[in-house]
Structures are given as C-alpha cells and as structure tokens.
Structure 1
Amino acid sequence: MARRKKGRDISGWLVIDKPAGPTSTAVVNKVRWALDARKAGHAGTLDPEATGVLAVALGEATKTVPFITDALKAYEFTVRFGAATNTDDAEGEVIATSDARPADDDIRAALKGFTGDIMQVPPQFSAVKIDGERAYHLAREGEELELAARPLWVDELVLVSRPDADHAVLRMVCGKGGYVRALARDLGEALGCLGHVTQLRRVWSGPFDAEDGITMETLERLARSPELDTHLLPLEAGLADLPELPCTAEGAARLRNGNPGMVLASEVEYGEEAWASHEGQAIAVGRYRAGELHPSRVFNR
C-alpha cells in the first residue's frame, strides 16, 4: 500500500517574486514547507539567476499548471554586446568577443526578425533532454551538443532602453518554451557583435504579475502561520484564460464522477476547451460539446 504524503490538503496558487540565486525547485520546496502543503509544483522554470514571477500551484491547482505553462509570458532583460558565453548568460565562460557595437536603429531593425513564429535553438546549458539526459549535464562534461531548433511564438519584442553602448534592455512577450538566453545569443549574432544576457526578470506569466507576488523573505517570515494563507489565490486563478461555463448541481455531480455534465448555454464553440463551475467553484476542465462539458480534468475538493 502506498504511503500517504504528509501535509495539509490545500489547493490554490501562491505567486513568488523570485530573487536571483535559488532554483525554481528550491522555491517550490520552500513554499510547500511554509504552507505545510501535501502537493506543490511550479508553472514554468526560471533560471537560478533570473528573477520575477514563479507561480506555485498547490494541491488540486496543480491540474491547472498546463494552462499557465501554455500562456503568454513577459520578460525584461539586459543584453551585453561584444561577448558570447558558453551558457549565453553572465554565469558562463566567454568563448568569443567582438569590438562591434550596434546602433539603436540597427537593434530595432534586427528585432523584427525575431517576432512572430520563429525557430529557436535552446542554449547548450538548458534542461532539454537528450537521450534521457539533461543538456546542461552533458554540457558540463564538455560535450558539444547538436540541439534541434524548436518553434516559438514571439508576440512582442521591443527595445526598452540603451544604458550605454555595451548594453540594451529589451522586453519580450512570448509563448511556451522560449529561451531568453538563446534570443540574446541569436540577436548578437544577427547584429554581428555577439551577445549574452546579464539580467533577466519575468514580469508576468499568464494571469500572474510579479508585483502581486510575495518575496522569499515574506514567505519565511509568515511560514506556518494563518497569515500566509491569506496570500493564496484560488485554484480558479489558473483557469483565467479559459471560458467559464456554469452548471447545475446535477451537472456538477456528473462531472465530479468523470461523466459529461450539462452546462448553461454560452458562446463557447463546439469542441472548445472550457471549465465548468458550480456556485463559483471550478468542477472540471474539458471540451464543450452540444450543451455538455466532457471532462479531461476533474477537481476533487
């Protein structure tokens, strides 16, 4: 018989404004400890030196993680021109240098080539798996990796400021799977001056904003106290990008058992993904078909 996990059976979201230093996994573990939660997970990894939104799902809210992972995200980051590193950020070793520096207009012109549907090769030091192993493990052993390009949707990419000739601050809004470090590397190559990231902040991720998150200091100060619970967002916050379909008590009962349940008429199209609610509480996520929601995920609360 499987051993039951210890901790409180709580569900919801806690948004952390992650500082530079800890890994995303370390932050999740700290959140789980601070809330004495049985189950927790995050919706999108941040590099250790990156800051900003790290949305941590608890309990049944972990079933909504894919909807945040797939949502658009905004980053503000600083690119250092004139040097390429093996990690594509300031933590790595410099592997090439250049005396060239781009003009502002050259940067703006180059950014147009990195918007819309693009193909991007992940950094050598990334969590991409190769034959079951993480790329960064192989890269640390000195292997030169052949990583396949991946599709990425870049909704917006703009020059925010130019502190000096060596640096540019950019803002990017993109979809799932984007590597800011790879973009800085590719932009530097396109401009003929090389480049890498020196600072990176995730400003928002789906419905979650960094300014609404709590710091790690606050997390530790309020750990294991009722006051920390007041910072929890409801499970439903992770469904903000999906249409809501209210249902009757009978429909809710059927959905809770994993069966299609009747929902109230709406403008949702046949086959569209949506979530059913009863008295404001999420019951299930699924596909809308002819007046019913066919559940793919059911929330047990």
Structure 2
Amino acid sequence: MKREIHGWLLLDKPVGLGSTQALGKARWALKAKKAGHAGTLDPLASGLLALAFGEATKTIPFAMGGLKTYRFAARWGFETETDDSEGEPRLISEARPSPEAIRAVLPGFHGEIQQKPPAYSAIKIDGERAYDLARAGEAPEMAARPIWIESLTYLEAESAPDLGRFEMTCGKGGYVRSMARDLGRALGCGAYVTELRRLRAGPFALDQAISLESLEALRDNPHALTRLLPVSTGLDDIPVLAVTEAEAAHIRQGRAVPAAGVLSLHDGDKLWASLAGEPVAIGHMEEGRFQPDRVFNLA
C-alpha cells in the first residue's frame, strides 16, 4: 500500500538505468505515493540522482538551480551523432592531443561560454523532444546558449593517449556530452563521452547516496525512512525567514507576513519561511513582506 512520505533521497544511479526507471524503483522500495527527481541522468551515466518525495517535490526547481559536478572521460579521435558511446563512432583524426595541448585549451571553457546542446537531448523544440526528432531522422539544429562553467580540470594522471579524463563543475543547462565534443573540436581531433558520473548537484553530494541494490533491500524495513533528508534540504540555496507560530498560521492561509529579518532582499526575490526549522511555505518578497506562493502540508 502506498504511503505519504516527505523528504529527499540521494541515489547512486547505476549505468543502464534511466532516471525515471530509477525513480520508479525507489518509489517501490519506499512504498511512496508521490515522487520526482531533480536533474535527469542518461542511462549511460551513473552517480548522484536526487529524488524528492511528497512535499519535497515542491522544492525541486530550487534544488535544480545549483552547481553540478561531473567526472567524465572523452575518447579522442572520433565523434558520434549522440556525442556519447550510443552512437556509431566516426573517425575524425588519427592524431591524439598532448597533455600540454589539452591544458592550453581549457581556459576557453571557463566562466560564461556558449554551448550547443546535443541533438539527442530532452530539450523541447516546437513541443517535441529533440531526441525524438533525432531518432525519427529529423535531427534539429540546436541553437547555442550561454552556460556557466565554474571549473574544468584535466585529470592527467588518470588519462591515457586515447582517453582524456576531466572533472567539471557547471551551472544549470550544461551538457557534459557537448563539453567533450567541443573539447575535441578545439583540439582538432574530435571526441565523445565514454564515461560520465555525477558527483554533486546543488546541496547534494554523492557520498550521501545509497546504491540501488541497498535501497531495494530496505523494502519492508522500518529503518528505510531514516535515509531521507529533510524537505528543507532542497532549499539550501535560497534565503530563509524564521517565523512564529502565529505568522505560520497566517502564511498557511495564504496571507503575507512581515519579513524584517531579510530586508536585504528585493521585491520578487524567492525565500522560504521556517518554523523551528520546518518549512512552512516558499514565497517571495513584496514590499517588505513575505508573500507565500506554495504552502507545505507536512502535518
């Protein structure tokens, strides 16, 4: 029987499983009614997948807005239509870049850059997913868009002549597959992703995650819910307003309350209201007051 549970679960997703499939297995293991995930991982990728249950699903947009860290391997000399190992490799060059050449191009991939997403991605074009169009033989021309690259490090000691290993921290909307492709083109040899693992996503880290095998073993175990992180974990990147019992009662009825503790914020800025550490609502600033947008039902 499905049950109401609230909180975040961090899963170490294995290769070969899509994010939606992984979420379904987690819902089965916890017997949860409502769930969602923050940030898709392709079946060929592994690592951190943050899963929100119950009222935590209301915090997903805020959890997805933070920086993400990945480790990946790029195979030099080839490109594929998918920018990863699912596509058929097409030889671009017999040449292989030296460590010096790789380090020399890295400064061009820091800060705000323009990146063209992979044709095989979940981006919608005229209401259709790009990967559906590409699989139907109508691969769309993807427009470049600005993304933020916090850091891109060449892991020389772990690399080989045919394979470069990197660690990247980027903002929302960054594609590792595109990064590997663009590194290969900058080096004149081509490249595609062969391995991809997510280490961090916003407030969440892989060292807090549970394996799928361990999670499935917890079904019917009364201690399973101890793996859940608080609902408020997904709100770590936005300001918090501490409120009283009386103010919380007003907020739950959709009424605004004074926000004297966060006067540095401007109208429209997002924040959340906390009663003794428990989230009451997500809202925005409006003329020095907290105006609730989404109220939590955690009782």
Smaller-chain TM-score range? over 0.9
Aligned to 2:179: 183
Structure-1 separation of matches of 2:163 and 2:140: 28
**Residue 86 of structure 1 pairs with residue 109 of structure 2:** no
Bigger Cα displacement from structure 2, 146-155 vs 23-32: 146-155
Task: Letter of the 2:278 partner, please give it.
Answer: Q
**Residue 63 of structure 1 pairs with residue 63 of structure 2:** no
Structure-2 separation of matches of 1:94 and 1:113: 26
Structure-2 separation of matches of 1:290 and 1:135: 42
Task: Letter of the 1:79 partner, please give it.
Answer: A
Task: Letter of the 1:294 partner, please give it.
Answer: Q
Question: Which of residues 143, 159, 167 is equivalent to 1:171?
Answer: 167
Aligned to 2:289: 292
Aligned to 2:274: 277
Q: Within 5 Å, give how 1:1-301 maps onto structure 2.
A: 7-161=2-156, 162-263=158-259, 265-266=261-262, 268-271=264-267, 272-289=269-286, 291-301=288-298
Aligned to 1:3: none
Deviation at 1:117? 1.0
- RMSD over aligned CA atoms reads 1.5
Percent identical residues: 50
Bigger Cα displacement from structure 2, 186-195 vs 103-112: 103-112
Closer, same or farther: CA 227–136 of 1 in aligned 2, 3 Å: same
1:268·1:288 contact (CA, 8 Å) conserved in 2? no
Deviation at 1:263? 4.2
Q: Which runs of 5+ in 1 are unaligned?
A: 1-5
Task: Letter of the 1:282 partner, please give it.
Answer: P
Deviation at 1:290? 5.2
Provide TM-score, normalisation by structure 2.
0.94
Superposed CA deviations along residues 61-105 of structure 1, whole A, max 9, x for unmatched, are: 001001111111101101110111111111211133311111112
Q: Which runs of 5+ in 2 are unaligned?
A: none
The DSSP-based 3-state class of the residue aligned with 2:154 is strand
Structure-1 separation of matches of 2:220 and 2:265: 44
Provide TM-score, normalisation by structure 1.
0.94
